[in-house]
Chain A
Amino acid sequence: MAEAIIAKNLVKRYGDFEAVRGVSFSVKKGEAFALLGPNGAGKTTTVRMLTTLTSITSGEAYVNGFDVKRERLAVRKSIGLVPDVSNLYDELTVRDNLRFMAKLYDAPLERVEELIREFELPADRKFGKLSTGFKRRVTIASALIHEPEVLFLDEPTNGLDVHSAKAVRALIRVLNKRGMTVFITTHNMVEAETIPQRIAIMREGKIVAEGKRGELAKLIGKKVIVKLSVEPLTSSLLRALEEYDVSFDEGRLLLEVENVDEFLERLYSLKTELGFRIEGLCTEVPSVEDVFVELTKGCPCGGCPL
């Protein structure tokens, strides 16, 4: 699978302040990738560099095969950007805003009506009169006017109520399922848990962890919690499970397990050997939030949302 985004040692400096310090990562075509981090970690600056909104101090970046430094217009044609604020034109109607975007991107005007239908937008209402949730939907629709290959979303559910945020997340998942590469920056853990296939965590301008959810959990040394109910619970079973750091919770056994598959194999062999019944079994994988809290602990940004 080809890469849709490649960042190599990206640096952004504002005077003496280094906002992004040598960030490297890649995103495959069709993948949903999230850049997590507390406020001031450098997420938005990274997106601004990748979308040509701010210059790159040093390093290299490629989007859809185009060099972000040298082929700015080609990059812009192939991407859509949903910024952290809904920045369309208040005095124009939804339809006129989308028509304006279509003209900027040389998109056919029929696409405007398509988007209005698909996103169920109030076409003739002025953008400035819309609710925050609808403004967000229009902003996302406008970023899709030219059917970009890569969609960048900077804090896409910022300031939205629970229902609107849920709707926006569902929309992003649909776009990704259709094959669009999605790049999200967020400090919203629900978003991080539900949208991306891969996550990178930024702190103080650097990526401190990158990988799939399970892989990130390993980085912080957190084990999977297995909740087990057996009948009868015998002392020989407890002795056999001693190596898993056993504790009790409402009559269930709580075991800290590193490798779930190996544990289940052992459990079923013990079942045959000791003759107990398994009445309940579930696992609790460390959340992205656990990983995020652990990796950004003591972050001096002063603006951590947690």
Chain B
Amino acid sequence: MKVLAIAEKELREYVLKPGSISWGIVFPLVFTLAFAVRFGDVDHLAPGLVSISVLFGTTSFVSSSIIFERRLRTFERLLVAPVSYSEIVLAKVLTGSIFGLFVGFVSLLFLRAFMVYPIWNLSLFVLFLVLSAFTFSALGLYVSLVVENPINAMTWLNLIRLPMMFTSGAIVSLLLFPKWFLVVGLVTPMTYSVDGLRFAMLHYYDVVNPIYAFLVLLLLSMVFLYLSILRVERLY
């Protein structure tokens, strides 16, 4: 219950604001248009673009909320209350995921206008979208807890996010790279999100079987969640 109370507070304090909502609409719109104008139909790119939108949406939101709260010391409100560190971390990740889902669905909405084929399995799409949002949100939280300064957080996040756009096969299929590059692809968390979404949307995948994609995303989300809890414990 406390997790939900914190998540509700986060939504009202940070998400339901004109700035956040506009960002959640403009970012996927720009990405969609950029690729649609260049390539016409975006079917093969659509899963990658949804994944990129979710990655940037969740990590940016979680990062700014935690850094803002630590700077203004509102985070201490939670730490001094009878709430466990795991509940606090879970609430933060949950809110980031909700924002990620919003950005993901907005992204899908725009992409549908340029897609030829219908979504193969909408339920599976939602499942992979939820898992991707949760994993990226937990990753963003962990990175933001490791760095102290907000400018550093954005730098570190970009150092992680930008290469992932290429090493995950989100924009260029991993099958087009040399074989050795697959190793890089397989250690990139986003690869599992992109291939999972690809299977759900287009009924095929590039390198990762959807069952493995599901299991790895689940495992990664737990790992990042656990690391974030450990980090909060160490910080306070």
Q: B74 to A87, Cβ gap below 8 A?
A: yes
B47-76 interface with A by 8 A CB criterion: 72-74, 76
B79-95 interface with A by 8 A CB criterion: 79-84
Specify which chain A residues have a CB less than 8 angstroms from the CB of B116 in the assembled complex.
none
Q: B74 to A91, Cβ gap below 8 A?
A: no
Q: B17 to A105, Cβ gap below 8 A?
A: no
Q: Is the interface of A mostly helix, strand, loop or mixed?
A: loop
Q: A91 to B84, Cβ gap below 8 A?
A: no
Tally of contact residues, A, Cβ under 8 A: 25
Q: A91 to B13, Cβ gap below 8 A?
A: yes
Q: B77 to A92, Cβ gap below 8 A?
A: no
Known contacts A77-B82, A104-B82: A92-B236 contact under CB 8 Å: no
Specify which chain A residues have a CB less than 8 angstroms from the CB of B80 in the assembled complex.
51-53, 76, 79, 81
Looking at B9, B76, B80, B84, the one whose CB has the most chain A CB atoms below 10 A away is: B80
A82-103 interface with B by 8 A CB criterion: 83, 85, 87-92, 96, 100-101, 103
Q: How far is the CB of B118 from chain A (nearest CB, A)?
A: 40
B130-145 interface with A by 8 A CB criterion: none
Task: Tell yes or no: B1 within 8 A of A by CB.
Answer: yes
Q: Mark B3-34, 1 if CB is under 8 A from A, else 0.
A: 00110010011100100000000000000000
Q: How far is the CB of A152 from chain B (nearest CB, A)?
A: 9
Specify which chain B residues have a CB less than 8 angstroms from the CB of A92 in the assembled complex.
9, 12-13
| Number of A-B residue pairs having CB atoms within 8 Å of each other in the complex | 57
Known contacts A83-B73, A85-B73, A87-B72: A53-B79 contact under CB 8 Å: yes
A119-170 interface with B by 8 A CB criterion: none
Q: B72 to A104, Cβ gap below 8 A?
A: no
Looking at B12, B72, B77, B83, the one whose CB has the most chain A CB atoms below 10 A away is: B77
Q: How far is the CB of A93 from chain B (nearest CB, A)?
A: 10
Task: Tell yes or no: A73 within 8 A of B by CB.
Answer: yes
Bound together, the chains give a CA A89 to CA B84 distance in angstroms of 20
Q: B12 to A96, Cβ gap below 8 A?
A: yes
Q: A105 to B12, Cβ gap below 8 A?
A: no
Q: A73 to B2, Cβ gap below 8 A?
A: no
Specify which chain B residues have a CB less than 8 angstroms from the CB of A51 in the assembled complex.
80
Specify which chain B residues have a CB less than 8 angstroms from the CB of A88 in the assembled complex.
74, 77
Task: Tell yes or no: A54 within 8 A of B by CB.
Answer: yes
Task: Tell yes or no: B78 within 8 A of A by CB.
Answer: yes
Other-chain residue from A52, A90, A103 in contact with B5 (beta carbon distance below 8 A): A103
Bound together, the chains give a CA A54 to CA B72 distance in angstroms of 17
Specify which chain B residues have a CB less than 8 angstroms from the CB of A73 in the assembled complex.
82, 84
Q: A76 to B236, Cβ gap below 8 A?
A: no
Q: B74 to A104, Cβ gap below 8 A?
A: no
Specify which chain B residues have a CB less than 8 angstroms from the CB of A52 in the assembled complex.
79-80
Q: B236 to A54, Cβ gap below 8 A?
A: yes
Knowing that A54-B236, A104-B81 touch, tell me 4 more A-B residue pairs with CB under 8 angstroms. Answer: A52-B79, A53-B80, A87-B77, A103-B1
